Amino acid sequence: MRFFHRVQADRVGFPYTAPSELSDPRNRQKLLADLRAYVESVAAEQIVWYKKSRVSRQIASLWIRFCSLLFLFLGGLCPLLPRDLPRSPVQDFEPWGYLLIGIGGGLLLFDRLFGISSSWMRFIWASFEIEALLDDFRISWLKILLEDKESDSLEALQPFLATADNTIKRIHAIVLQETSSWRTEFQTNIAHQMSLGKSHSGDQISSEVIRSKEKHPGVVRKSD
């Protein structure tokens, strides 16, 4: 967690130096410093966003899981309680058990349909990946500095540019993969929700038809 307080969330501007100014070694050193600050700010921005966003998902997921297990446990316990307990306002606990089990299962279904726990896991994984990528970028940058013997030449800029370019692309790939996973999960949950609604409406129509046949058998046979 110390890393979370060390990084900066504000993204710096993209560095640019006119080609005519790169002949000056001071401008080249400034370009490299600005380029490194830009790459680190891009990574830090994503890390801070994922770490802040995962807190609300974590709290919601833990509360949903805890309440769901509590309701399921109490629901399973209700049928075991004896009837007509002394000083109890409830005479029969068995119907309350079904209600509590239904609430517990509904909480789990709510978590699945809205992807609360899964988004928490995705945010943790994405932040860890970008943190590891940022550390790898810093070590690679330091290695290039130590191995560079012609720091005053324009060709010496190429390894730094390649490292920065690779890091930026990998950061965007991680974010894109996480967003793609969210989109796939969202579409799957919507389709599952629609299928539940259709099956519920179909069962309701079937039950209404059965009740209509039982009440008016002659009229139903005529219409058939």
Q: List pLDDT tens digits, range 72-126.
A: 999 988 888 777 767 767 677 788 889 999 999 999 988 888 889 999 999 999 9
Placement of tokens 């996480």 in the chain: 178
> Which run of H or E residues covers position 143?
helix 116-147
- Tell me how far apart the alpha carbons of residues 10 and 161 are, in angstroms, rounded to a whole number: 22
pLDDT at 51: 92
Residue 203, token pair as written in the block: 């069962």
- Name residues whose C-beta falls within 8 Å of residue 81's C-beta, 6 or more positions apart in sequence: 93
pTM above 0.75, yes or no: no
User: Do residues 125 and 35 touch, judged by C-beta distance below 8 A?
Assistant: no
Q: List pLDDT tens digits, range 163-177.
A: 999 999 999 999 999
By mean pLDDT, which of 27-36, 147-156, 174-183 is the weakest?
147-156
Instruction: Give residue limits of the domains in the chain.
Output: 2-198
- Tell me how far apart the alpha carbons of residues 213 and 204 are, in angstroms, rounded to a whole number: 14
Chain-centre distance of CA 202, in angstroms? 33
- Is the confidence at residue 22, as pLDDT, over 90? no
The mean pLDDT of 62-76, rounded to a whole number, is: 94
- Name residues whose C-beta falls within 8 Å of residue 78's C-beta, 6 or more positions apart in sequence: 93, 94, 96, 97, 100
- Is the confidence at residue 7, as pLDDT, over 90? no
Return mean pLDDT, the chain: 79
- Tell me how far apart the alpha carbons of residues 76 and 97 are, in angstroms, rounded to a whole number: 6
Please, which pLDDT band fits residue 209 given cuts at 50, 70 and 90? very low
pLDDT at 21: 63
